Structure 1
Amino acid sequence: MKRLILLLPAAGLIWYLWPGSVGIWNIGNFLGIGLCVFLLLWGGFAPLLKRRAETAGHLKTYRTGARILSGLLTAGFLWAGILTVQMILAANRTPPKSIPAIVLGSQVRGDEPSLDLWARIGAAERYLKENPKAMCVASGGQGEGENRSEAEVIREKLVGRGISADRILLEDRSESTEENIRYSKELLEKHSLGSHAAIVTDEYHQLRASWLAKRQGLTPYAVSAESPRNILSAMYTRELLALTATLAWG
């Protein structure tokens, strides 16, 4: 049983280190690495700490602290589970035929899309080819380390895959998911494209995108890109934090 308890955080540590092999380091995998290391240390040293507490006459204090720690970890994992179920449901909300798509930007490295942006471009391509009358908003500004805006790169790659440039509207001002949605909505209104939108983004990102879209008066549906498995741990955990922050502070 003890080996199993140690095996789980050890496997988790490998999972959270994996994104680093492709240069992905963010608060998501830092938090996951820290948690797994803590659990490994706690699993390995808890018996020793308990014996020392008992010898020093502080066993009651030790047990109280252990219960509090266990409760916090349980609450955290339960909260993550609740959000994960909601993320899965949001990622599977199939859009009606031919409604406009909003492709949310992600990091561009120089002139080339990052792994998750490639996934979103691929999902947008499939949707637009399956719905030849649908328009598309390529959304995303130019950030640090990007030679061009994310929107321009999205449009270029879609055109290179056979999507007519006439079907792609450019939103190149945004610097966050909230701005992606808000500025894209302005384009939909300007071109009389209605208030229904197929949001093209990673599965884990669909829930927060749908919340933000509803705040802007849009009716969102999901065109979900399959997140690259080698970066999923970092991006998923970061999204759990972003969802919690959105609920807490709006």
Structure 2
Amino acid sequence: MEARTAVSSIARNVVGLLLIATAIPNLGLKALTRFVPLFVVTGIIMIALPILLKLPGQRFQKLSRRVFWGVSSACLVIFGGLIIESCAIIFGGLGQQPPEDATVVVLGEGMMGDQPSTNLMLSIEKAGDYLQAHPHAVCVASGGMRGTTTTEARAMREVLVSNYGIRSSRIILEDRSQTTFENMKYSAAIIQQKGLSKNIALITPNYHMLRAKILADRQGVHPYGIPAATHLQWQWRDYLRALFALPKSLLFDR
């Protein structure tokens, strides 16, 4: 009984902290922004639940106990799901060997002003190395304009041409997308229109790979992951964001 109480307490506190963490600035949970106040309040209530349930007194003690164990049991289920999801994200970020005819697709990862973000530069480096090693491969640079004067796709092309000597004719711009779902939707449309191989060498950060591959499959292309590293300072934020973004894509991005 004590072990069950301890585990349920840990699960309840972890779920509560994750809900509170949605308020972290720049977490990037655009689709969930309107719900952040609700998440934060719910998280605080979960953590403070043992104290709150003592307030009604003896009269409602039996009901309080049922509420406590009901919430704790639900948190245990969620906690177990988070562990499974975390493992899936980690293993989904492992690399694969694409076929020789693969079309390279590089996903946008944000800008800093008019320059690629650190994570995007790491993806561009992966793309540059792959394109140099596969001189006949064609690349789709995917990413639109997000409050900047240039698109992620154009920024990617500029770096690939100037730093890696890749001919601009090998790089096709997909510069409309604002989300991962749109990245894959518009890139798949370009691949279809140009008659390119539907086997794709998908380049995106490791924490993002599983979700991107699921969305690629839904668009009828066959992804082979080439994961880029992520900036060490922001790994905790990136993986936390992935925990929220994966269920959202599974349910709504179709």
Q: TM-score, normalised by structure 1?
A: 0.77
- How far residue 35 of structure 1 moved from its aligned partner, in angstroms, is 9.0
Q: What does residue 120 of structure 2 align with?
A: 117
Q: What does residue 150 of structure 1 align with?
A: 152
- How far residue 232 of structure 1 moved from its aligned partner, in angstroms, is 2.6
- Residues 129-172 of structure 1 show CA distances to partners (whole Å, capped at 9, x for unaligned) of 3333322111111122x110110001111222214123211111
Alpha-carbon spacing, 1:116–1:172, altered in 2? closer, same or farther (3 Å): same
Q: What does residue 199 of structure 1 align with?
A: 202
RMSD: 3.4
- Equivalent residues of 2:106, 2:140 under 8 A apart: yes
Paired with 2:130 and 2:45, the residues of 1 have a C-alpha distance of 43
Q: What does residue 58 of structure 2 align with?
A: 56
Instruction: Mark the runs of 5 or more structure 2 residues left unpaired by the alignment.
Output: none
Alpha-carbon spacing, 1:172–1:75, altered in 2? closer, same or farther (3 Å): same
Letter paired with 1:124: A
Q: Give SS of 2:72's match.
A: helix
- Which residue among 20, 26, 29 is the counterpart of 1:24? 26
Q: What does residue 235 of structure 1 align with?
A: 238
- How far residue 191 of structure 1 moved from its aligned partner, in angstroms, is 3.5
Q: What does residue 192 of structure 2 align with?
A: 189
Alpha-carbon spacing, 1:26–1:180, altered in 2? closer, same or farther (3 Å): closer
Instruction: Mark the runs of 5 or more structure 1 residues left unpaired by the alignment.
Output: none
- Residues 90-144 of structure 1 show CA distances to partners (whole Å, capped at 9, x for unaligned) of 3225023452210011222321112321222122223223333322111111122
What pairs up with 1:58-77 in 2 under 5 angstroms?
Answer: 58-77=60-79
Paired with 1:35 and 1:225, the residues of 2 have a C-alpha distance of 36
Q: What does residue 109 of structure 2 align with?
A: 106
Q: TM-score, normalised by structure 2?
A: 0.76
Paired with 2:128 and 2:110, the residues of 1 have a C-alpha distance of 18
Paired with 1:38 and 1:91, the residues of 2 have a C-alpha distance of 32
Count of matched residue positions in the alignment of Structure 1 and Structure 2: 235
Paired with 1:248 and 1:162, the residues of 2 have a C-alpha distance of 39
Letter paired with 1:92: L
- Which residue among 79, 104, 118 is the counterpart of 2:81? 79
Alpha-carbon spacing, 1:93–1:80, altered in 2? closer, same or farther (3 Å): same
- Which residue among 125, 133, 136 is the counterpart of 1:133? 136
Q: What does residue 222 of structure 1 align with?
A: 225
Q: What does residue 44 of structure 2 align with?
A: 38
Q: Relative CO higher for 1 or 2, CA cutoff 8 Å, sep ≥ 6?
A: 1
Alpha-carbon spacing, 1:232–1:72, altered in 2? closer, same or farther (3 Å): farther
Letter paired with 1:233: W
